[in-house]
Structure 1
């Protein structure tokens, strides 16, 4: 289970590492879109856009349905939840670190000491 979760996170982070794919995800947050609509803001062919969409699909970030010749893409935010959970661990870690630093600085300030 852990390895599967790790592989999923790897795929999601890989997909989100590209600014074009992040923008596509942002567009899908508003509503479902066709491949043509997702490709429109970028200077790329539909084939190139389809490759980006395939990466997002493999990462579980979007799902695609085909209606005739039209491919409709919709955000599947469940994979983002696992990223949020992973990042949340580090948010808690850094919050504890900053809280400890704040206590030390307040103590030094209370004593009239120098923080350096």
Structure 2
């Protein structure tokens, strides 16, 4: 009988610790594409979509209605859902699928004159 009370008490203690906020199994959650500033600095106007994808990775979102913009989104949150870091970058292409410029949370490159790129 004494053993049974011991196991019941132990079971309740394990359940209480497992369901508390002081659990040992807390994992940060990383979602999307983490893009470093150095990679963005390597983007050159006139690059093809394939070259941009090779440099930055596959975009998280490609808009069906505006295929000239790729969205790279990154979220870092804790296991409770609090966002620690959030970044979004939009990469813009011209009608021919050539890279023009990017803007977003990491930094901005100025939009370029497409006529000067086509002339090269």
When you count strand as a share of all residues, which structure comes out higher? Answer: 2
**TM-score of the two chains, using structure 2 as the length reference:** 0.27
After TM superposition, the score normalised by the length of structure 1 is 0.28
